[in-house]
Structure 1
Amino acid sequence: MIVEISLGDTFSLKDKRQIVKSIIERLKNRYNISIAEVDRQDDIRRTVIGMACVSTTSEHVNRQLDHVLSFMEKDGRFTVENVEKEML
Structure 2
Amino acid sequence: MFVGSLRLKLLINGSRTLKDKRQVVRSILDTVRSRRNVAAAEVGSLDNTSVAELGFATVNGQMNKVRESVDWIVNFIQDNYDLEILEQEITVY
Smaller-chain TM-score bracket: over 0.9
| Structure 2 portions without partners, runs of 5+ | 1-5
Aligned residues: 88
State the distance in 1 between where 2:33 and 2:44 align: 18
CA-based RMSD: 0.9
Residue among 45, 60, 71 paired with 1:40: 45
State the distance in 2 between where 1:77 and 1:26 align: 15
Residue among 15, 20, 39 paired with 1:15: 20
TM-score scaled to structure 2, two decimals? 0.89
Give 4+ residue runs of structure 1 displaced > 2 Å after superposition. Answer: none
State the distance in 1 between where 2:81 and 2:18 align: 19
Question: Deviation at 1:68?
Answer: 1.0
Residue among 72, 87, 91 paired with 1:86: 91
Within the alignment, does 1:25 sit opposite 2:30 as a pair? yes
| Structure 1 portions without partners, runs of 5+ | none
Code of the residue aligned with 2:40 in structure 1: it is I
Query: Of Structure 1 and Structure 2, which has the larger fraction of its residues in strand?
Result: 2
Question: Deviation at 1:58?
Answer: 1.3
TM-score scaled to structure 1, two decimals? 0.94
